[in-house]
Amino acid sequence: MKYITCEKPGEFKLKEKSVPINSKGNSILKVNKVGICGTDLHAYAGNQPFFSYPRILGHELATTVKEIGENDKGIKVGDNVVVMPYLSCKKCISCKNGKPNCCTNIQVLGVHTDGGMQEHICVPIDILIPAQNLTDDEMAIVEPLAIGAHAIRRAELKPGETIVVVGCGPIGIGIMKLAQIAGAEVIAIDINQKRLDYAKKEIGIDYVVLGDTKAVEKVKQITNGDMATAVFDATGHKGALENGPDYMSHGGRYVLVGLSKGELLFSHPAIHAKETTIMCSRNATLEDFEHVISILEKGLFPLDSFITHNVDYTEMISHFDSWLNSNNGVIKATVSF
């Protein structure tokens, strides 16, 4: 079977190997489509934390079951399944406390261990979620939307809140739309006007603000001086992460979804005065995946405009560089197998 490996920063190779052999507790899946996420882009660019080379990328997967043993999920050969790509140990303090998404020994497909950029993949049955009612395109975006769903749940978002989401990439857009569905008023901030225009036109975001020196004042005007009760960073950019509390109201929450490699610096008097709650949001849980699947089944997410680029796996290597540049109109790219 064919597979693509990221040999080192800036270099992919299309290779061939044997189809994996199934074993007890595992399943063999036919990979139909892979979503390209920020992790893949950062890995290719050489600035992804917790990463080593060579690596088969890909953890946003649309798959069909080819081989599977008896299981209590009722999954059988031929079923469409979403893969929850987080391999947790089930033994550490986090897992025992119901937080396998931040397991101390976590292995994320396509990051810590090889992912789905291959024709077939062998994965544990316990990370499969039935998705018979979803298309390949829908299955391929469940994981990134679940990241947003988890962040919203972490923030305990309530209807009627006004929030700021910094970053109009796929994760940020997911947070925005899911927050809207939850009843929040959303202010989107980005330095790319084209992405702001997309958020306004296609996602229906209430307010868009260019991320320049006037952004804080604009948020203040929109909120009549109150600022946002919750701020979500979906950039992972050091400067953006450090500026996030400036958009937040007194008594608000700041949710760090994007990941930066370095240290962050905040003014303690400024965050202390607001009694700021700073929380990180990592990966997602089964509850988040199931919530997103429900949203997609109801047709509440604008899938057609979200997936902007798709190529066959045989053409991915020649197109990948162009997906690094948001000026090319890329929101979500996918690869078909």
Would you state the pLDDT for residue 243?
97
Residue 117 lies in a domain: yes
Residue 309 has which token pair? 């680029």
Ranges of residues in the chain with a pLDDT under 70 are none
Domain extent for 22 = 2-132+302-336
CB-CB contact of 83 with 109 (8 Å): yes
For residues 220 and 193, membership in a common domain is answered with: yes
For residues 265 and 229, membership in a common domain is answered with: yes
Query: With left for phi above 0 and alpha for psi between -120 and 50, is residue 230 left, alpha or beta?
Result: beta
Residue 263 has which token pair? 């240290």
Residue 142 lies in a domain: no
Q: Which residues contact 286 (CB under 8 A, 6 or more apart)?
A: 84, 129
The rounded distance, in Å, linking the Cα atoms of 332 and 116 is 17
Listed in sequence order, the DSSP H helices in 132-245 are 136-154, 170-181, 193-198, 215-222, 238-243
Residue 286 lies in a domain: no
A 10 A CB-CB count for 234 gives 30
Residue position matching structure tokens 């960073």: 233
Would you state the pLDDT for residue 325?
86
N residues, the chain? 337
The rounded distance, in Å, linking the Cα atoms of 251 and 148 is 22
For residues 128 and 22, membership in a common domain is answered with: yes
Would you state the pLDDT for residue 164?
98
The rounded distance, in Å, linking the Cα atoms of 226 and 298 is 34
For residues 128 and 155, membership in a common domain is answered with: no
The rounded distance, in Å, linking the Cα atoms of 271 and 78 is 52
What is the DSSP-derived secondary structure letter of residue 79? -
Q: List pLDDT tens digits, range 67-97.
A: 999 999 999 999 999 999 999 999 999 999 9
Would you state the pLDDT for residue 165?
98
For residues 164 and 276, membership in a common domain is answered with: yes
R_g of the chain, CA atoms, integer Å: 20
For residues 159 and 106, membership in a common domain is answered with: no
Residue 207: strand, helix, or coil: strand
The rounded distance, in Å, linking the Cα atoms of 122 and 120 is 7
Residue 309: strand, helix, or coil: strand
For residues 48 and 120, membership in a common domain is answered with: yes
For residues 164 and 274, membership in a common domain is answered with: yes
Amino acid (one-letter) located at 68: I
End-to-end CA distance of the chain: 11
Would you state the pLDDT for residue 319?
95
CB-CB contact of 44 with 56 (8 Å): no
| Cα maximum dimension of the chain | 62
Residue 318 lies in a domain: yes
Residue 137 lies in a domain: no
Q: In CATH, what number is assigned to the domain containing residue 109?
A: 3.90.180.10
Q: In CATH, what number is assigned to the domain containing residue 212?
A: 3.40.50.720
Residue 296 lies in a domain: no
Residue 289 lies in a domain: no
How is 16-52 classified by DSSP, letter by letter? Answer: E-PPPPP-TTEEEEEEEEEEE-HHHHHHHHT--TT--
For residues 115 and 161, membership in a common domain is answered with: no
Distance of CA 221 to the CA centre of its chain: 30
For residues 155 and 245, membership in a common domain is answered with: yes
Residue 140 lies in a domain: no
For residues 213 and 155, membership in a common domain is answered with: yes
Q: Which residues contact 329 (CB under 8 A, 6 or more apart)?
A: 194, 308
A 10 A CB-CB count for 111 gives 24
Q: Number of helices and strands (H, E) in the chain?
A: 11, 17
For residues 20 and 57, membership in a common domain is answered with: yes
Count of domains observed in the chain: 2
Would you state the pLDDT for residue 328?
86
Would you state the pLDDT for residue 92?
98
